[in-house]
Amino acid sequence: MSRNKIQAVREFLALPRIALVGASRKQQHYSRMVMNDLTIRGTEVFPVNPHAGEIGGLRSHAHVSEIQPPPDGALLLVPDHAAVTAVEECLAAGIRKIWLRQAEDSTPFCRQAAARARAAGATVVSGECPLMFLPNAAWFHRLHGAVNRLVGIYPQ
């Protein structure tokens, strides 16, 4: 992992207000684990899901643009085909720190989404599980981080 990416990860996780785009109504879903762990750390999380009025006791927003004032960053946990639209909505809302869960080289959609965000001046983190960077995450996320340390792709 490059020094710039390490710094981007640290800066993103230090943001006080984060939109979680693609938050699920299902309690056991990955997005809910992320939402819970960020909330425990003191991050104000804004779930974004156009099909839910509330997620995990928090008001869910249909679009990032509904969150006022705009969040400091957006974590996109959307399907690949929705990544470009999600990035466009974040950029239109003034968000310039964006985390794409999928690696940007994983699909043409992700490549296009990351390129669009960077072209607009946004800082982009892609292809990383945010949970492996959080000290209070479940054991399997910490194991994921430990394995990445062993193979040399985790920040020191």
Strands 54-55 vs 58-59: parallel, antiparallel or unpaired: antiparallel
Pairing between β-strand 97-100 and β-strand 123-126 as defined by DSSP bridges: parallel
What CA–CA distance (Å, rounded) separates 103 from 106?
5
Q: For the full predicted model, state whether its pTM sits above 0.85.
A: yes
Phi, psi for residue 56 in degrees, rounded to 5:
60, 35
Report percent pLDDT > 70 for the chain: 87
Burial string for 139-150 (b: 16+ CB within 10 Å, else e) reads eebbebbeebee
Give the amino acid at 23.
Answer: A
Residue 100 clears pLDDT 90, i.e. is over it: yes
Taking 80 as the threshold, does the pLDDT of residue 137 lie above it?
no
The residue-averaged pLDDT of 28-49 equals: 94
Phi–psi pair at 74, nearest 5 degrees: -135, 130
Q: Is 3-128 a CATH 3.40.50.720 domain?
A: yes
What digits encode the pLDDT tens for the residues 48-73? Answer: 999 999 999 999 999 999 999 999 99
- Span 12-33, pLDDT tens digits: 999 999 999 999 999 999 999 9
How many other CB atoms are there within 10 angstroms of residue 21's CB atom? 30
Between residues 54 and 107, the one the model is more confident about: 54
CB 98 within 8 A of CB 87: yes
Within 10 A of 16 (CB to CB), how many other CB atoms are there?
A: 10
pLDDT score for 111 = 94
